[in-house]
């Protein structure tokens, strides 16, 4: 049988059907491609978050805990007090303590004595700065044994039963080695057109050791009990080291805090 030639109307109808079918295929393929692309992006995104969390939890947090430990170590070693001895091996009650800071610098002396008095007050103890004690003591005078006995009686008659004396005993140059450290930065990698962060790789920077030089001031603080009948009335003594003080006020506060804390712990009873 011979093939019948399509009429013009039939050809137009068939052409429209073909176009409709092609359009449907394009829509289906476009949607399918978009679905595949979305799934791939989702997979990479989940993988990115997982790897990021794994990297941070296993690599970045460990140095953070190391840093926190290092900061705690520094804070625990920041005291000026280097050594001390509770000579009397006892703790006593004190009603009124005279605070003496022997210094040619009047400003430094005033700030130091006020700081110690303030720290004593926080512990419920009464302290009096020697500079304001109506010239009860002359820090620049060398007392004889007889004069010291007279001074002790004068102090006790004014209600003092304890004296804290601080002296600068030496000044030294020092050189410390500051260990070089390392710092690690985690740089994200990028993948193709998705632009998603998939992983982190470490970039470590190393620092060299450094030498730090300066001046170290060595102080000694002592606590005496005035109502002690024996000649040896030294109760407690401590050695302090201060390196390159930049602020008189801050140094005085820190020193006073260390001093009073050590005294309260070892030699002085408090009401708090």
Nearest to 152 by CA among 99, 228, 223, 89: 228
Query: Which of 100-104, 155-159, 200-204 comes out lowest in average pLDDT?
Result: 200-204
* pLDDT (tens digit per residue) in 184-201: 665 555 544 444 444 555
pTM (predicted TM-score): 0.61
Compute the CA torsion angle 22, 27, 33, 36 (nearest 10 deg): -130
The distance of Cα 121 from the centroid of its chain, to the nearest Å, equals 26
Q: Rounded mean pLDDT of 38-59?
A: 50
Residues in the chain: 272
Which pLDDT score, from 0 to 100, does residue 61 have?
39
Q: What would the two tokens of residue 267 be?
A: 């030699």
pLDDT band at 120 (very low <50, low <70, confident <90, very high): very high
Contact 262, 238 (CB under 8 A): yes
- Cα 168–172–175 angle (5° rounding)? 140
pLDDT tens profile 68-98: 333 333 333 468 999 999 999 999 999 999 9
């Amino acid at each position: 049988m011979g093939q019948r030639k399509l009429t013009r109307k039939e050809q137009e109808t068939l052409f429209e059907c073909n176009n409709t079918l092609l359009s449907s295929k394009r829509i289906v393929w476009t949607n399918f491609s978009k679905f595949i692309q979305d799934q791939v992006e989702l997979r990479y995104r989940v993988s990115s978050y997982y790897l990021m969390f794994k990297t941070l939890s296993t690599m970045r947090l460990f140095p953070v805990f190391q840093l926190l430990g290092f900061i705690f170590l520094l804070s625990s070693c920041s005291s000026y007090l280097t050594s001390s001895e509770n000579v009397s091996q006892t703790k006593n009650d004190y009603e009124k303590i005279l605070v003496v800071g022997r210094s040619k610098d009047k400003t430094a002396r005033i700030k130091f004595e006020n700081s110690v008095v303030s720290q004593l007050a926080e512990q419920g103890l009464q302290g009096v700065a020697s500079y304001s004690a109506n010239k009860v003591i002359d820090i620049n005078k060398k007392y004889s044994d007889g004069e010291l006995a007279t001074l002790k009686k004068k102090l006790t008659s004014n209600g003092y039963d304890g004296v804290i004396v601080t002296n600068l005993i030496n000044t030294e140059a020092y050189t410390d080695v500051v260990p070089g450290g390392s710092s690690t930065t985690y740089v994200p990698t990028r993948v193709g057109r998705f632009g998603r962060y998939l992983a982190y790789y470490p970039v470590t920077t190393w620092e060299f050791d450094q030498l730090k030089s300066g001046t170290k001031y060595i102080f000694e603080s002592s606590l005496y009990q005035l109502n002690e009948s024996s000649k040896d009335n030294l109760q407690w003594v401590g050695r302090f080291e201060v390196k390159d003080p930049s602020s008189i006020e801050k140094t005085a506060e820190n020193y006073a805090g260390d001093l009073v804390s050590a005294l309260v712990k070892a030699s002085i009873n408090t009401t708090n």
